[in-house]
Amino acid sequence: MTDEPRCPHCKRHCELSSPHCKKGEEYAKETGYSKIQKTVKPESPDRKADESEKVEMNGKPDKHEKNGKPDKHKKHDRHDKNEKHDKFDKHDKHDEHDKHENHEEHDKHENHKEHDKHDKHENHKEYKKEHREERREEHRKEHRKERRKDHKEKGHEMKHEKDRESKMNKGINEKDAFSDSKMIIMEADEVREKLTMPVCIELMKEALIKLETKEAQQPLRSISQIPGGNLFGFMPAWLDDYFGAKVITAFHGNRGTKYPSHMGYVMMFDSKHGAPVGMADCSTITEIRTGAVSAAATSVLAKDDASKLAIIGCGAQGRSHLEAMLCVRPVKEVICYDIIQEAAEAFAKEQSMKFNINIKTAGSVEEAVKDADIICTLTPSKEPYMRVEWIKAGAHINAVGTFSPVTRELTSDLIAASKLYADQVEAMEKEAGEYIIPLQEGRITREHIIGSIGGVLSGKVPGRQNDMEITVFDALGLAVEDVICGRYLVCRKASTER
């Protein structure tokens, strides 16, 4: 503390000659220097000068009191002082407020100056260009940083734009399509909408090539007989990033009821964790992909100018094969036959309107296949009915209707006179009646199988050599064909729902 007097208004230490406030100066002139209160050090010898103040604070009478009672004049003096002190405080607050407003105006003025300078600087072309480049570079760095982080988290390497587009066209997203735990289920109508024939034909080519080059694996299917003479099938396959199986039942007693004879799903699992990720109706997949795989074979075995098509069997596979053949060859005339004449007539009427093409019905198989360039046999016949003498030189046959060692549609003579191709050679050697029965009869040898369609597509196996050869593609149906369709459908749906 200091010995200097303290102003009763501003409460500061000040000298009489230079008071800090006008009120203090006026007070000094009116009352004199001795009237200004002082604060002194605790050990100062002048402590007696403030004895009256201390007594007053402690509630004891001071020298101005008479007989223990306060002096009236002294009381009025203190009241005047308090009024002056209040007035001074109000003026002081106004002064501080004015100063604050002046500072704010000054700050605003300074801000305006800064903005003016900035605007002038912004108008400068070089500054603008430099500023834009800096911002772009910052965005590029930020984008690269985020992209590296994303790829590090997902465990993927950077890929070319062409590869990305190719994968997206197949419905496979670069990121994990199944990062969430949602199970995807696709029923018949949705499968039919998404799995178009042109797309499916390309999927079949890919599947057959992968199977030939060992990029895909497929164990032999398992078909078990269950009570009542019905069948239960399990057909697995593996395609690098995903694996799956067609699980299907065959209840032939369902004919004529609201239930189809074949029902089931293609179930998909991811190869990384083995988690089930989705499933799609297998009846619709089978219907579409069977026609598509025949189209893949027809595209490399039939003559380029093949224009006359014969359809034997006018059910679901008849419809599928008609659409598939129209995708790969310039078909102008179609002849159809079915053991049920009404089915053939309904097929001809319906499909003629759908594809705007002339379709005729035939009264016999022989009539239907006469002069045909492409023949599709689509019946569950247990006995062969297609004879070699009915077949035009240079014709191509898709034998699709049977898939067991004891059933077939083509006679041994026809097989012996043809070049035979398989969807998978190993499967044909174990399951195809078209091959096994003539082999057992001694009509052909093991070398009669030219190879697989995947081998022809990949250039490892020769296809048609001239326009006089009769070529036969015997289709058993492969799990890899179902699984690649399941992967396409489920992955595509997963990527669009994100």
SS3 440: helix
Tell me the pTM.
0.64
Q: What DSSP assignment string belongs to 220-254? A: PPEEEEETTTEEEEEEEEEETTEEEEEEEEE-GGG
- Contact status, residue 344 vs residue 336, Cβ threshold 8 Å: yes
Where are the strands (E) in 342-447, listed by range?
358-361, 374-377, 396-399, 419-422
**Opening angle at CA 17, ends 16 and 22, nearest 5:** 75
List the CATH code of the domain at 174-498.
Answer: 3.40.50.720
| Residue 56: other Cβ atoms inside 10 A | 17
Residue owning tokens 């992955």: 491
User: For residue 87, what pLDDT is reported?
Assistant: 45
Q: How far is CA 118 from CA 114, 123, 127, 131, 365, in A?
A: 6, 9, 11, 13, 90
pLDDT string in tens for the chain (498-residue length): 445 556 665 655 554 445 556 666 666 666 665 444 444 444 444 444 444 444 444 444 444 444 444 444 444 445 444 444 444 444 444 444 445 445 455 555 555 555 555 555 555 556 566 667 777 777 777 766 776 665 555 444 444 444 544 544 444 443 444 445 578 999 999 999 999 999 999 999 999 999 999 999 988 788 898 888 899 999 999 998 899 999 999 888 887 788 878 899 999 999 988 999 999 999 999 999 999 999 999 999 999 999 999 999 999 999 999 999 999 999 999 999 999 999 999 999 999 999 999 999 999 999 999 999 999 999 988 899 999 999 999 999 999 998 889 999 999 999 999 999 999 999 899 989 999 999 999 999 999 999 999 999 999 999 999 999 999 999 998 999 999 999 999 988 887 765
**Strand, coil or helix: 40:** coil
If you ran DSSP here, which 8-state letter would residue 392 be given? P
Amino acid, res. 480: V
> Are 485 and 194 spatial neighbours (Cβ–Cβ below 8 Å)?
no
What is the sign, positive or negative, of the torsion defined by CA atoms of 204, 205, 208, 211? negative
Q: Which helix (H) or strand (E) holds 312?
A: strand 308-312
